[in-house]
Amino acid sequence: MIALSLAEIAAIVGGQQHDIPDPGRTAGGPVVIDSREVRPGSLFAALPGDHVDGHDYAERAVAAGAAAVLATRPVGVPAIVVDDVVVALGALARAVVEKLGTTVVALTGSAGKTSTKDLMAQLLRRLGPTVWTPGSLNNEIGLPLTALSADAGTDTLVLEMGARGIGHIRYLTEITPPRVGVVLNVGTAHVGEFGGREQIAVAKGELVEALPAAEDGGIAVLNADDPLVRAMSTRTKARVVLFGESADAGVRAEKVRLTATGQPSFTLHTPTGCGDVTMRLYGEHHVSNALAAAAVAHELGMPAHEIASALSDAGQLSRWRMEVTERADGVTIVNDAYNANPESMRAALRALAAMGEAASARGGRTWAVLGPMAELGEEALAEHDAVGRLAVRLNVSKLVAVGGREAAWLRMGAYNEGSWGEESVHVSDTQAAVDLLRSELRPGDVVLVKASRSVGLERVAQQLLERE
């Protein structure tokens, strides 16, 4: 965080100073919520957790060098006491971002936020110092912590914004008002909680509603191929820039294909030029993510040929997203177990199918090891059934469905689509999946591992990689 005195911080967050001998002392280290991450000068925000209360760690934080604690009650060490620590973090982040005048690029969508944010950061840092959301820290705590890590040299903040309900994105845009807002897609992620895709569109669209007007530099970057996203152009005063296949005058990809290793290759077209891209990331869904990142980079002044070369260089920043590892024995593990929803399941299966062509030339087979997709509400049965069917239509060699009744639905879909018998199995837990795969895998095989976060299917990928 930029250096601020404790008195200034107290004034910004509207807090009371307790046990502070020297209000002129500055806090300037990172703002942290885990006392183990305290550095000299840190501000330690005491949050109530599910199992532990941050207030219990206040003393430890100060002993480790924290300048003060942001807390909801006096804690016997220097503290700024507020009603709500999360709200105070937001207020502090807002004040700091305003003071720095940093350009905020915010993005949201149902699938691909983290992948796109990582791509975008790798493009924009070529234009100047850039700070971006680590991992998926996209909520009312992670967002201000990320923003507070910007300093006087930071040109651009790239922030992932997540929504689990109406009003969430609006709140985040009030903390870090974006100049550029990107909406990737409105899918079925969290549809159960929201109660329908239209409701999700209402929630995601709050991002473009918060942008400044076109004459004040506001830019809304919208996916032209997603009707619910494209329709958001009527909800913003910002200038609209479209990306996608149907973005004729915007940023689009031509000659899209997957290489034999499942990596997308295409010609990038922007309004001012074009360039050839072959990505290091896996799966066709990254074309759309790359176009979103390219559209932002183009708007911020990067020439098309440079965008194309940066996209070709960009690697994986966040783990468990189509992480491809080849074992010494020639079995390839594709760990995409970070999360899953119907859109990302389809994208990952298509990437697996593309890799399968090269695999079969080596005598290998493709395995889809899939688990439940959470939060689908009433659509759960139909969506799992459809994914099982798609696996058959894409000629995936084997389906291993892991888990409870959703896994049974996956398997039934495959069975009904292709009269699959032995090609699909249903196992109840990750250990059974590992045991089965250990005995069946042979050199040349490619194994995709994917399910919703709560399933923890990365354990399967990790165990398969441990024993080579």
Q: Which residues bind Mg ion (CB under 5 A)?
A: 113-114, 136
Please, which residue, 35 or 335, has the CB nearer to ligand ATP?
335
Please, which residue, 136 or 233, has the CB nearer to ligand ATP?
136
Residue 347 as a binder of ligand ATP (CB under 6 A): the answer is: yes
Residue 338 as a binder of ligand ATP (CB under 6 A): the answer is: yes
Residue 146 as a binder of ligand ATP (CB under 6 A): the answer is: no
Segments of 210-263 assigned E as strands: 219-223, 239-243, 252-258
Residue 343 as a binder of ligand ATP (CB under 6 A): the answer is: yes
348 binds, among ligand ATP, Mg ion, none (CB under 5 to 8 A by kind): ligand ATP
Among 102, 173, 335, 339, binds ligand ATP (CB under 6 A): 339
Scanning residues 381 to 440, which ones bind ligand ATP (CB under 6 A)? none
Scanning residues 276 to 305, which ones bind ligand ATP (CB under 6 A)? 283, 285, 288-289
Residue 113 as a binder of ligand ATP (CB under 6 A): the answer is: yes
Please check whether residue 431 is in contact with residue 462, taking contact to mean a CB–CB distance below 8 angstroms. no
The C-alpha atoms of residue 61 and residue 77 are separated, in whole angstroms, by 10
Residue 168 as a binder of ligand ATP (CB under 6 A): the answer is: no
322 binds, among Mg ion, ligand ATP, none (CB under 5 to 8 A by kind): ligand ATP
Q: Work out the burial of residue 227: count CB atoms within 10 Å of its CB; fewer than 13 is exposed, 13-18 middle, 19 or more buried.
A: exposed
Given the rule CB under 6 A, which of 21-29, 146-154, 341-349, 430-438 is the region that contacts ligand ATP?
Answer: 341-349
The C-alpha atoms of residue 266 and residue 85 are separated, in whole angstroms, by 47
Given the rule CB under 6 A, which of 98-106, 242-250, 336-344, 369-377 is the region that contacts ligand ATP?
Answer: 336-344
Tokens of 222: 């919208």
Q: Work out the burial of residue 274: count CB atoms within 10 Å of its CB; fewer than 13 is exposed, 13-18 middle, 19 or more buried.
A: middle
Site track 182-211 with ligand ATP (rule: CB under 6 A), x = hit = --xx--------------------------
Among 5, 17, 136, 309, binds ligand ATP (CB under 6 A): 136
Count of Cβ atoms closer than 10 Å to residue 97 Cβ: 23
The full DSSP string for 78-92 is SEEE-S-HHHHHHHH
The neighbouring-strand residues paired with 368 are 399, 448
Which are the contacts of 226, defined by CB distance < 8 A and separation ≥ 6?
184, 185, 186, 244
Which are the contacts of 83, defined by CB distance < 8 A and separation ≥ 6?
72
Site residues for ligand ATP per CB under 6 A: 109, 111-115, 136, 138, 162, 184-185, 283, 285, 288-289, 321-322, 336, 338-340, 343-344, 347-348
